[in-house]
Amino acid sequence: MQDNHSYSAPALTLRGLHFQTPDRGQDKLVRCIRGRIYDVAVDVRRGSPTYGQWVGTELSAENGNQLFVPIGFAHGFLTLEPDCEVTYKCSDTYAPQNDGGIRWDSVGIDWPMPGDTTPELSDKDKVQPTLAEFDSPFAYDGRPLAPLS
């Protein structure tokens, strides 16, 4: 339905954790076409046995890997070097009224950056609610979070 293209100039730019709420939820297929990123999906489906758990992997132009992020999962990434470009195919178009997110540092993600580092964040990402404050509109669909192999 929609292709997105993101460019981040500085290393250690963090984008996320984002999603679109029902009835405009988006599946995403994410790929890094320039540079390297650490890409993350967090289960935010109410009632899921893996609620709040996350998976993450390095995506790069060199390794060619992709990450599929289903509806009901928050998505984010950290750039690991300067000048990163990320593309993602989405199953629905952008709907500003359904735009949502949770704070990048409220889930316990082991972001690969020095411990005293604060990543570059957008104004939007600085004010997202924590996972504990989040009232999820997503229902568990019976599919548990699967580890990456």
DSSP string, 111-136: -SS-TT---B--HHHHTPPPTTT---
Classify the phi-psi angles of 62: left when phi > 0, otherwise alpha if psi is within -120 to 50, otherwise beta: alpha
Calpha distance 58→55 (Å, rounded): 11
Residue type at position 116? D
| Residue 18 bears catalytic tag | yes
Active-site choice (18, 51, 75, 140): 18
Backbone φ and ψ for 147, nearest 5 degrees, come out as: -65, 155
Active-site choice (7, 88, 94, 140): 88
Strand partners, 75: 18, 41
| Residue 5 bears catalytic tag | no
The residues annotated as belonging to the active site are 18, 88
